[in-house]
Amino acid sequence: MYKKEISKAVINRLPRYYRYLGDLLEKDVVRISSKELSEKMKVTASQIRQDLNNFGGFGQQGYGYNVEYLHSEIGKILGLEKKYNIIIIGAGNLGQALANYVDFERRGFVVRALFDINPELVGTKIRNAEVRPTEELESYIKSNQVDIAAITVPKTKAVQLAMDLVSWGIKGIWNFAPTDLNLPKEVTVENVHLAESLMKLSYRLSSKQKQEKSKITKEGPGEAIKKEDKEDKESKS
Ligand code: NAI
């Protein structure tokens, strides 16, 4: 559809544009200038224009953006104009949490079934989706339209499971297991690793703390000692 290869950074920003525009739509906002959108999203106006120019613009000089149109166009770019059938393999803590989250469905991602090896879970229902035995996984995939398979099994089982899923025809994998899946390139894999996000947070926290410390040191040892004493007293009180 678009001749130019779109950079990953732009693709990564699109869901955020989509979310902001969705919020504006809910508030019945009809149009927005790139300046207003940039202030809301804390992205420069030129960044927004550049990003959207990748897809042919959508803005009009002196008018800004029509919120509904832009929301729907970005939705199309993200492939959100269709419904996606999802199955979840591994109906433990995470698998159940995903199946319980109603908002995915609102965006067109419908959890149709879960699969697990644990007989105690088999036959239970999470919202509208039933937990089925893994023995039925292959026949389910072959006889139903499954667009995305979410992997929420232990890491040690994930690689083999992913290969089986692909051999049965799965083309989209939402991988939560903390392991890399090396799959053929016609298979699209999206990895979600909350632990990596936490590590980024811890990096940012600790670098801020280091900056604070070096600021204190520059102010001189006397000031630093006074500040430490004060913090010590406060933490004890
Ligand atoms: P859990 O132990 O609660 O659930 C795992 C489920 O998988 C169990 O019900 C088990 O019976 C089932 N299972 C095991 N082997 C299976 C197989 N071959 N086929 C089908 N089902 C199978 O574990 P939890 O906490 O739900 O974590 C699941 C996975 O998600 C783990 O790999 C964990 O490391 C990962 N995880 C990833 C996060 C992320 O941010 N990406 C966050 C939390 C967990």
Distance 40 CA to ligand 1 centre (A): 37
Atom 9 of ligand 1, residue of closest alpha carbon: 92
Atom 14 of ligand 1, residue of closest alpha carbon: 153
Q: What pLDDT is attached to residue 48? A: 86
Half-sphere exposure of 179 (CA within 13 A, CB side): 16
Helix (H), strand (E), coil (C) string for 15-70: HHHHHHHHHHHHCCCCEECHHHHHHHHCCCHHHHHHHHHCCCCCCECCCEEEHHHH
Query: Is the distance from CB of 65 to CB of 34 less than 8 angstroms?
Result: yes
Distance 95 CA to ligand 1 centre (A): 7
> Span 84-192: which CATH code?
3.40.50.720
CA atoms of 131 and 96, how far apart (whole Å): 10
Residues of the chain with CATH 1.10.10.10: 8-77
Best mutation site among 153, 165, 173 for ligand 1 pocket (most ligand atoms within 8 Å of CB):
153
Contacts of residue 216, defined as CB under 8 A and 6 or more positions apart, other chains included, come to: 223, 224, 227
Atom 31 of ligand 1, residue of closest alpha carbon: 154
Tokens of 194: 């909350």
Distance 158 CA to ligand 1 centre (A): 9
CA atoms of 160 and 211, how far apart (whole Å): 45
Written as tens digits, the pLDDT of the chain (237 aa) is 455 677 888 888 899 999 999 999 999 999 988 888 889 888 888 888 888 887 776 766 667 888 999 899 899 989 999 999 999 999 999 999 999 998 899 889 999 999 999 999 999 999 989 999 999 999 999 999 999 999 999 999 999 999 999 999 999 999 999 999 999 999 999 999 999 999 999 999 999 888 888 877 766 655 555 555 555 555 444
Residues of the chain with CATH 3.40.50.720: 84-192
| pTM as predicted | 0.84
CA atoms of 10 and 12, how far apart (whole Å): 5
Looking at residue 144, its amino acid is N
CA atoms of 108 and 124, how far apart (whole Å): 24
Domain 8-77 has CATH 1.10.10.10: yes
Distance 184 CA to ligand 1 centre (A): 23
Tokens of 112: 């149709």
Distance 153 CA to ligand 1 centre (A): 3
Distance 135 CA to ligand 1 centre (A): 17
Pocket-forming residues, ligand 1, beta carbon under 6 Å: 89-95, 115-118, 121, 134, 152-155, 157, 161, 176-178, 192-195
Half-sphere exposure of 92 (CA within 13 A, CB side): 9
Cα radius of gyration (the chain): 24
CA atoms of 176 and 178, how far apart (whole Å): 6
Residue 154 Cα: closest atom of ligand 1 = 32
Tell me how crowded residue 113 is: count the other CB atoms within 10 A of its CB. Answer: 22
For residues 111, 163, 196, 98, the Cα torsion angle rounded to the nearest 10 degrees is 10
Query: Is the distance from CB of 30 to CB of 64 less than 8 angstroms?
Result: no
